[in-house]
A and B are shown apart, each in its own frame.
Chain A
């Protein structure tokens, strides 16, 4: 079962915007609007940031937004802050009630 493809790392300066991509296939990302994004700080459990491609759970900053085009989903963080430095993972539904995660992206705030 192949993981979804994410860039290994991205970086940006405070105040800037960055985008993390998550590429799958028509069997997962492209076939369903069931993409989620998770933030994970070192030594901590993942935290849900985006669900169903573009929805934010209560309490998540509106600086975080999600979108999808074809087989690629994207997470955009605007107004970058030092606290955003973390690992980010996408996940998608992949038929038959199964899930798949991406390989993760390390965000560095310069």
Chain B
């Protein structure tokens, strides 16, 4: 049974760096084809893909946010960490992490419950 859960601050100030942790179980991020991605959703708005880290440690980012994002994995702890620098109120959103299926190309088949992050002074 695959589960994922996001954790991190609920409130950050403008210009600060956000660090979110995705803790997962039921799969290994060292298995070929597997990945973990981050997606966000501002209140009342659409999903936006942010980043994805693959089993082979390849890291991919949204072109529009690439300069602000870093994604890393700790396979031994079953965790993936996303950092986003220079936070702004427009970054207020629910942040989700999701499992990229090994055998289903680029499908995110399991999602965490999401973590609401508010950016405000």
Contacts and interface: CB of A to CB of B under 8 A. Distances in A.
A89 B46 contact: yes
Interface in A32-75: 32-34, 36, 38, 40, 45-48, 51-52, 55, 57
Contact of A52 (B39, B96, B107): B107
Given A48-B107, A48-B109, A104-B47, A96 B62 contact: no
Q: In which size bucket is the chain A interface?
A: 20 to 34
B63 to A, nearest CB: 5
A100 B49 contact: yes
Contact of B107 (A45, A51, A102): A51
B38 to A, nearest CB: 11
Q: In which size bucket is the chain B interface?
A: 20 to 34
B49 A99 contact: yes
Nearest to A45: B111
Nearest to B54: A97
Interface string A74-110: 0000000000000001011100111111111000000
Interface string B48-64: 11001010001011111
Contact of B106 (A40, A45, A46, A99): A99
Contact of B60 (A38, A55, A97): A97
A91 B49 contact: yes
A3 interface: yes
A98 B64 CA distance: 12
Contact of B105 (A34, A38, A45, A48): A34
A96 B105 CA distance: 13
| Most-contacted residue by chain A among B98, B107, B113 (CB, 10 A) | B107
21 contacts: A1-B63, A3-B48, A36-B107, A38-B47, A45-B96, A45-B114, A47-B111, A51-B101, A51-B104, A52-B105, A52-B107, A57-B104, A89-B46, A97-B60, A98-B61, A98-B63, A99-B37, A99-B49, A99-B52, A101-B39, A101-B46
Given A1-B63, A46-B98, A102-B46, 13 more contacts: A36-B107, A38-B47, A38-B108, A45-B96, A45-B111, A46-B47, A46-B96, A52-B104, A52-B107, A92-B106, A93-B105, A97-B52, A97-B54
